[in-house]
Every structure is written in structure tokens, then in C-alpha cells.
Amino acid sequence: MKEDVFVIDGGESLNGRVQVCGAKNAVLPMLAASVLTPEPVIVRGCPQITDVADMTEVLRALGVRAERNGRDITVSGTPALTEIPAHLACAMRSSVFMLGALIAECGEVRLFTPGGCRIGARPLDIHFDGFSRLGARVEYGEDFVRCTAQKLHGAEILLKYPSVGATENLIMASVKAEGTTRLVGAAREPEIVSLVRLLRKMGADISGEGTPVVTVRGVDCLDGAAAVPVPDRIVAGTVMAAVAVCGGRVELSGADSSVMGAVISPFLGAHTFLVEHGGVMVFESDGMLAPTDVSTGPYPLFPTDMQAPFMACQCYASGMSTMRETVFEDRFSHVAELRKMGARIALAGNTAFVDGSGGMRGAELRAADLRGGAGLVVAALGAEGRSTVSGVRYIDRGYERIEEVFSSLGGKIARVTAVR
């Protein structure tokens, strides 16, 4: 069996410039929203990653046109089908974004159990409870769920947790509902704001995005539009993590510091440096990191998607750090791999205690999920000696040719095909 692996010789400083593309977590719901009108919808600045490619395949499988031209993806047409194919649903969890859009546009959707990274339970009950409040009927099978609605109506929906996916799904489901919908306890992530900006350009009547209360006033129809997603703060943060452990100076072109406060703060606490010149973020590190105490949480707190890349930094800090994971209960799969490199990490419930006083050396590593895999790449770039990272397919879901990004900055990393 052949698979791609990364071969990394650590210890090189990273210097240069990185162009940050549109955020994966904004692009995917924006593409889903494109089925709310038969007219062309253009999502610009899309990264060339497998999750985006898979979402375009989902759209084509539903019978709409989805065409990529460089970094722009144009979607047009009316869905001919309302069942998301099992092999696509099982391959990527983001297929769940189609639920709200298809209920609103077609009055029906059938979805097999969605896949994605194994990082703990990510229940969909918040989504389905909201759909029911809007007037949809939800039926559960052994490995699928079916939602139907003759006519959706506005409602006040209290989200028991500020779920990003549920907030986006319920916004899409309610844009054509009769009356007004209020989402109370909504997620506030900037990726949601990107979705709403597209929907508003399409003619939707939405207010309150980026706050805990989002109001959607239903309209009869939506038009075509074009929009640009927010830059990917997780990709920018991952590059920062690598520069932090390796030392160097990198310009993050396109990154938006206004939505990255919680990402940036722990890096500054670790004694790295960040300035902006002409709207371009410039990040610098001498590789001498101080210990930090970090907790993940919903926006505007430190994002759970940055937990693994930043824990790699903590492995190089001069002292004891802590990382508390409050969003997912099983997102420490990378810890066992970091220990192979010499990391001293103790786990107690949802908290990792990271003693950075030991050295990090190269090892054979395997990624088990997207962000954990990125964390392993970061750790390997700073380590003494050679590392190999397998499970690259997970990393490719959210990072565009990450090996080319880091090699362009001076890192010694290459993608090779190995026989297992």
C-alpha cells in the first residue's frame, strides 16, 4: 500500500513570506449556501485542499454545477437530488452543512452519518432540535437522518452550546422561512460572519452576526452573488507556531489580526514578537520560548483547532505549561506521538501538563487527525534530527501543500511516497 509521508529534518530557521488563503471553515458553509439560489454564486480565494474538493463533489452529486477557476469556485443550478451520497458523507463531516441549505431550498434532505476527524463526540442534536423548532420533521435511521418540511416558519431557538455548525445550519435553514427567527446563544466565529456576508449579498435579511443573538427575517428568494471568505486564522497560527519553535521572521500576507486576538495572545506570552507593517502581519521568534497556560473555548477564546500546533510550541518552552481542552473531550491523540519525540506530557482529564525542559528529537510519527497532524509537523520542524510524518491525508484536508509552504521558508521538509 502506497501513501504520502513527510520527511522532515528539523532545526532550520524559517524566514520569508506566506500568503494566507480563505478559511476552510468559512468556504465550506459558503459553498453549501450556494444551493439556496439557482443563480451563480462565486466563492473567491478558496484554498486547494481536499475538504474543499470533497465539498464540490458533494454539490455535483446533488446535481448542481460546481466549477473551479484558480481560487474561485462558481456554483449554479438547482439540486436534482436531496440525498448526500454515503461515501461523501462518511469522508467529510462538513457535508453536514448541506442540511440547512437543502431543507430551505428543497424541503428535504437525507444524510448518512458524517465522517471527518476522530476528535471525540460532535453530536448533531443541536442542529436537529433547531430544525424541529423551525417546523421540520426529523427521522433517525441506524446510519442516517432524514429531515423534511413542507414549510419552515420562524422561531426563537436557544442553543444549549454555541456550536459553529449548528449556528450556520440554522441560519441557512431560516433564510427563506416564513417570519422571523432568533438564534439565542449563537456562535460568534468570524467564519460565521463570512457566511452571513455572502447570504446578505444574495438578498437575505440577517442581523447580529458575530454576537450571541442572530436575527433572520425570511425572504421569498435569493439571488446570485460573489464573496470572499475571511482569511484562515488557523493556517496563519500554524505558521506562527512553526516559526516560534524554529526561530525566524515571517510575513503573513492576507492574515487578519482583527479576528486573531486569541490566537496571537499565547504567542506573545511565550515571548515572541508581532508587528504590522502596511497591514501585513510580521511574526518573529528567537526560538527561546517561555511557558504558557492556555485554555481552548468558543470564539473569541483560543480556538480548539490551534490546540495541537500550540502544544508543539509548549514542548519547546523553558518550563511547565498547561493546555486545557474544553471543546472536545478526545483531542489529545497527538500527545502519544509527541512523547515519541521526547516530549514530557502528563494528561489529567481535559488538561495536558507539558514540561518543555527536555529536548525534542526526530521520530517516526503518524497523524490521526487534521490539526493533530499539523502539530506534529510543527514539532518535527523544530526537533533535532529526522522525522517522518504519515497520515498526510488528514493534513491535506485543511492545509494547502504545507510542505511547500515550510520549504519556501527554509524548512527541510519533503513529501515522498512510501510503501507500507
Under 8 Å between Cβ of 303 and 323: no
Q: How many CB atoms lie within 10 A of CB 199?
A: 25
Give the active site residue among 46, 117, 313, 315.
117
Q: Please work out, in degrees rounded to the nearest 5, the angle formed at the alpha carbon of residue 98 by the alpha carbons of 97 and 102.
A: 140
- Sign, Cα dihedral of 309, 315, 321, 323: positive
**Residue 313 annotated as catalytic:** no
ω before 29 within 30° of 0 (cis)?
no
Active site members: 117
